[in-house]
Amino acid sequence: MAAFTTAYGVGQVSAPLYSVALFEYSGFYDMALMLTGFIVFCGALLLYFTKNNGAIKEYNL
């Protein structure tokens, strides 16, 4: 539970910072939304692979 709370806090602090920087660079929020989606996707993959660590070792991936 502490890891989720910490990750949520870090996301609430860092996301507006890079969102403003990307908005000022491009004038649109498209890049910030794509980057945030990519970060969430990477987090989901990391969660999947760490949760299924035994399955990965079994298949030698």
From first to last of its 61 residues, the chain has per-residue pLDDT tens of 777 788 888 888 988 999 999 999 999 999 999 999 998 898 888 888 887 775 555 555 5
Q: Which domain holds residue 12?
A: 2-59
- Compute the distance between CA of residue 21 and CA of residue 32 in angstroms, rounded to an integer: 9
Q: Which pairs with CB-CB distance under 8 Å and at least 24 residues apart come from 37-46?
A: 43/7
* Closest to 34 measured CA to CA, from 15, 51, 52: 15
Number of domains in the chain: 1
Determine the pLDDT at residue 54.
56
Determine the pLDDT at residue 24.
94
